[in-house]
Structure formats: structure tokens, C-alpha cells
Structure 1
Amino acid sequence: MTESPHRTGTSHDPILVTGAAGNLGRAVVDRLVARGARVRCLDRHPVDERPGVEAVVGDLTDPAVLRTALSGVDAVLLIWPLLDAAPARAVLPELARASPRVVYLSSSAIDDDRARQTDPIVQVHADLEALLMDAGLRPVVLRSDTMASNVRGWAAQLRAGDVVAGPDIARTAVVDERDVADAAVTALLAERFDRGPHVLTGPEVLSRADQVAQLGAALGRRLRFEPVRTDIARSQMLADGRPAALVEALIAASEHRLEATRTTGCVERLTGHPARTFAQWAVDHAAEFR
């Protein structure tokens, strides 16, 4: 594997964080500011400006918005927001002209030996990786496993009772989003960096039932996971107000994504600390579910 040829941001050159209002984006921004970096945030939702942070409100897929956001930046954390890679073709020329270091947040479920990936969500990430390479951007690729923060979607069910119902997706090496943020910051700030892909996982492979049990232990409650049929899961997610395209992609992932079979040491190698366990994430975030 070769190293990225791009230099990183300095105290004078802002680092662009896309998706800055999301769980991961906010964590990355906080860490960059703590390290003394200037940060520019791009999101469709306003982000609070503070010393060292400026905001660009708009859509990443709008070339004019991206052109404004890229002005003078030296590194970009790219979090793609859509279930379709095709719109990236319109904005990648803007990235290529600016020629920053690009750190792309991808998926650990990508199988490089497959012509087509297991489900639409993973396929989008594989397509984006290919498009970035075709554009000559040579991105640093961080392939993240399922992030622990996704279980915040269970909060409403846990306020109503002790059962989490949903599709019984394949086991996954759940990774703490704080570890992903730490790895992203390392990649954004390093003078030179191996392009990867770097597969970021937690220290153990967990089922949905395992996650529910560990969250219950942190809350002092006896929680249980109840698998539901695909048609019921689809109806529930649509009733919750999730977009139909997202629901279908999630259903496809639950039906076709393969089980994780390994954990990696990439988090520790990139950040200098061991990957946090899901049990620790549950303890640290228990108040959000009470």
C-alpha cells in the first residue's frame, strides 16, 4: 500500500468536515478543534460556529456549495449522505480541482473480490471508493464497521418497555464512533498516511441480542431482543417516518449482508489506544436511554 501524496491541513489551512452535524462529524470537529486545527463544517443543517470553526450550510451534492466549502482547504473528511453514488460524478471535479487530501468514510462490509456487493448500502460505498480513485484523488479509506451510535434508534422502544424489536441482522464487530473519529483525525492531521483501506472494528463480534443485553446491563434492566419478520420491520420503519428508499436499503442489508467474521487492530494502530467495547459505549451513554 502506498501513502497519500497530499500534505495535511495546518493551523492556517482549514480542514473541511462534511456531515458535520451528525454523530461522527461532531466528534471529529471537536477533536480537530482540541488539536488546534481550523475547521470548516459543511452540512445541510446549521452548525454552531465557535473559535476555530466556520460553517457552510448547504448540500454536498451541489457543485457551487462544495466549491465554496473547498476554498483554501487542505484536507477533507468525506461522509457521503446518499443511497446513490451517481450524484458524486457532478461534484468530484470540484474535489479534484481543489486537490485536498480526502479521507473517505466507507464500509467494512465491502468485499473487494465481489463484482457486486451484498446490499445497496455497501454498493454505494464501493462505488464511491472507485469514483474517488478514478478522479485521481487517491483517498485515505477508512472502512468502518457498524457504529455503536446506531443503537440510539432504539431509544423510543426502550422508553416504552424492555423489548427491542427489529430485523435480526448479521452479527457485526460494532465500533465506537469515538474510535472512528479518533482514526479520522489521525488521518486528517498526519503529514503522510497510508491510504488503506483501514478496516475499523470493535474488539468483538456481536449479534443484535448481544447488544441489547449489554445495553440492558448498563441500564440495570433485563432487556431482550425480539426478531420480527421483514414485512413487519418495513411497516414499523415506514411508520416511524423513515424515507422509503432508506427502509428498502436497510431491509436489503438485513437480508443479505454477511456476518462479520473478524476484528482488526486498526483502531489501536491508528489511534494509539485499544478499540472500546460496546459495553463501555453503553455505560458511557446510558443516560440517553433513561
Structure 2
Amino acid sequence: MTILVTGATGNTGRCLVHQLVDAGQAVRAMTRAPQTAHLPAAVDVRYGDFEQPDTWPGVLEGVERVYLFPHVDVAATSGARFIDSASGGRFVDHAVRAGVRRFVVHSAVAAGFPPGDEPAGPGRQYLKQHLAVERQAHRELEQWVEATGAEWTHLRPGLLAVNALGWAESIRAERVVREPYPTSGYPWVHEADIAEVAVAALLTDAHVGAAYTLTGPDKITHAEQVQTIATAIDDIIRFEELTPQQALEHWIRDGVPAEYADWMLELRADSINGPGCIPPTDTFHQITGRAPRSFAQWASDHRADFL
């Protein structure tokens, strides 16, 4: 049985490829840059692009199961990221015609939110709008997969621990992190946890038809994240608290579109006093019998990124 991993050179996809190889599976990796993929020698790395249907037959030949990472575009006018569910859906249809019988969809926590009832706190209009758009995009792709009649499992991770890599440059250069709201934070999920559940969904029948929300074990604040990374690299990292206005100006100077910066700020503000719109789940424990990997484990695993 050949398993196709799309998004194979991303953080979660790369982790999944390694876990499948370790499990003795035949793995094919779809990437737009095969020459620089740097995946295990046992992996069949092939060029493939969601925007180029002529590349799909060679990628899907002989494949029975697919880990489907959503096709993400960047709008030229605003820089906003969105899920192109139509492009992904056409790929799914082609895959089923080529013989694929099971999909594990890398979705998002927002796909499980009730329509029109995005769980952000009062006054979070930009965050609510963003969550509504994100929910629609990811849920559309999930529904496209469901409509094919193939077997499916949806993985809906919350906020990823790898978001902390956004601080890597300032930590390497200055040993400083600049953020508003030091007590803001979420139960950041380790990409290895997502990959581990994906392996179970790809290789066993126990998870067919299930949709899983995945988070880390508990809320970790921004200040705690910085201290945890400092411990991992055995050095001091200074947390420089920004006012909300300073944060907006800082992000916009770094090229973040203003409308994107607005919901980023509200996302942080939403979890100052509590878990915010993404509380911890025990899904990983229910599936594996073990606690989710901690942020400390993530920081240790990514130590080299901050040195």
C-alpha cells in the first residue's frame, strides 16, 4: 500500500513522512521542490502542484491513501492566507478516480465551530470574522472529501507550537521577543502529535468517519513560551511587552497587512484570562493513551532553530 503525503516538506508533513517510514510504510511525498525536499531515502519524492492538474496523475499513480494538507494561497492584494477548497476539491475528485480510497484531512479547529457562533469573546469582531472565514474554507474541503464516498478522517489542530518559530530571528539576533499581552496563550499543539494521530488514521480502521480536535495539554502563555525556549537553549531571552498599538505598528512594519494584524491582536487578547477560543482537549490521550507532547518538548525538539 502506497500512502501519499501532500504538504510533505512542511512541519507536520515532514514529521508524518518520518513516522510512516519508521512504521515500515511505502510513502510518496508530493512537493513543488523535490530537489530540496531532504526526505528519507526510502521516500518516493515526486513533483506535484495543486494548481497544475497535469502533475496529479504521476503523483497519484498506485496510491490508496492520502494525507491531504489544504492548498493555501496568498491573496496578491492583501497578503491574507486562505484555503482554496475548490482547487483542493478537484484534486480530491481526481484522486478518487485514480483509486484513492481513504483521506486524512489536515483541517483546522475552526471547522468544528458552529456556523455563526465562533467562540471568541465579546468585542472581537476581527477575530470572529477571521474564524468564520477559516471555518467555511476548511469545512468546505472536508465536505468535498465526504461527498466522494471515500473513507475519511478529519484532523482539526488548534494553534500550532511552530508559530513560535516566528520569534526565531529576533531570538537568534537579540535574545529578545516583542509581544503584547504576556499572559495570553493557548494549548499549543506539537506537530508530532498531529502526525501521530494521522498515522493511526491512515493505518487503522478505528478512526474512519471521525473528526478530531487536537491541542496541547494546557495553556502556555507567551511569557512562559519564551522562558521555556530560553531553558531549551540554556540562555536568557528578554520578553519586551508591547502595547496593543505598538504591536500593530511592529507587525505592519514587518509586512503584516493591517486587517491581518487586527485579528492577530484580538486573538491574543481573547486568551489573557483563560484559554480563549481554543480550550485544551484530551483527544490525543484518548487515541494514544498518552498525554500530548508539552511545549517544553517542542522547544527541546526545535532548539537548533533558536541558536
Structure 1: gaps of 5 or more residues: 1-12
Report SS of the residue matched to 1:40: strand
30, 42, 46: which one aligns with 1:52: 42
* Pairwise CA distance, 1:28: 0.7
Partner of 2:200: 186
* Equivalent residue runs for 1:255-266 within 5 Å: 255=266, 259-266=276-283
* Pairwise CA distance, 1:158: 0.7
40, 52, 60: which one aligns with 1:62: 52
Q: Contact 1:15–1:73 at 8 Å: present in 2 too? A: yes
Report SS of the residue matched to 2:254: helix
19, 23, 26: which one aligns with 2:7: 19
222, 228, 233: which one aligns with 1:214: 228
1:88 equivalent in alignment to 2:88: yes
More moved, 160-169 vs 128-137: 160-169
* Pairwise CA distance, 1:62: 2.6
Q: Contact 1:61–1:90 at 8 Å: present in 2 too? A: no
* Pairwise CA distance, 1:192: 4.1
Seq. identity, %:
31
Report SS of the residue matched to 2:45: strand
Report SS of the residue matched to 1:188: helix
Q: Distance in 2 between matches of 1:192 and 1:74?
A: 17
Label 1:99 to 1:260 Cα distance change in 2 as closer, same or farther (>3 A). Answer: same
Instruction: Tell me which amino acid in the other structure corresponds to 1:214.
Output: T
* Pairwise CA distance, 1:73: 0.9
* Pairwise CA distance, 1:248: 5.0
Q: Distance in 1 between matches of 2:152 and 2:290?
A: 24
157, 167, 170: which one aligns with 2:170: 157
* Pairwise CA distance, 1:251: 4.8
Q: Distance in 1 between matches of 2:41 and 2:297?
A: 31
Report SS of the residue matched to 1:140: strand
- Residue by residue over 1:127-168, the C-alpha shift from the partner in whole angstroms, topping out at 9 and shown as x without a partner, is 222222233345201111222122112111112323322465
235, 244, 252: which one aligns with 2:263: 252
1:77 equivalent in alignment to 2:67: yes
Partner of 1:34: 22
More moved, 85-94 vs 151-160: 85-94
Instruction: Tell me which amino acid in the other structure corresponds to 1:164.
Output: V
* Pairwise CA distance, 1:223: 2.7
The structure whose RCO (Cα within 8 Å, separation 6+) is larger is 1
- Residue by residue over 1:223-280, the C-alpha shift from the partner in whole angstroms, topping out at 9 and shown as x without a partner, is 3153453642442331xxx7x6xx8556535435862453222212323432111022
Q: Distance in 2 between matches of 1:161 and 1:50?
A: 34
Instruction: Tell me which amino acid in the other structure corresponds to 1:232.
Output: E
Count of residues paired in the alignment: 272
- Residue by residue over 1:40-81, the C-alpha shift from the partner in whole angstroms, topping out at 9 and shown as x without a partner, is 000112134655311111212332322321111111111113
More moved, 65-74 vs 227-236: 227-236
264, 268, 281: which one aligns with 2:285: 268
Partner of 1:3: none
1:232 equivalent in alignment to 2:243: no
Partner of 1:10: none
Q: Distance in 2 between matches of 1:213 and 1:260?
A: 24
Q: Distance in 2 between matches of 1:225 and 1:86?
A: 42
More moved, 171-180 vs 127-136: 127-136
Label 1:231 to 1:149 Cα distance change in 2 as closer, same or farther (>3 A). Answer: closer
Structure 2: gaps of 5 or more residues: 73-81, 119-127, 271-275
Label 1:165 to 1:187 Cα distance change in 2 as closer, same or farther (>3 A). Answer: same
Q: Contact 2:111–2:134 at 8 Å: present in 1 too? A: no
Q: Contact 2:66–2:104 at 8 Å: present in 1 too? A: yes
Partner of 1:8: none
Label 1:100 to 1:86 Cα distance change in 2 as closer, same or farther (>3 A). Answer: same
154, 158, 182: which one aligns with 1:145: 158
Label 1:95 to 1:111 Cα distance change in 2 as closer, same or farther (>3 A). Answer: same
Label 1:204 to 1:237 Cα distance change in 2 as closer, same or farther (>3 A). Answer: same
More moved, 159-168 vs 55-64: 159-168
Q: Distance in 1 between matches of 2:25 and 2:15?
A: 14
Partner of 2:75: none
- Residue by residue over 1:178-237, the C-alpha shift from the partner in whole angstroms, topping out at 9 and shown as x without a partner, is 111111111111144242211111111123233223222333314315345364244233
Partner of 2:79: none
Label 1:57 to 1:226 Cα distance change in 2 as closer, same or farther (>3 A). Answer: farther
Q: How much is the aligned-residue C-alpha RMSD, in angstroms?
A: 2.7
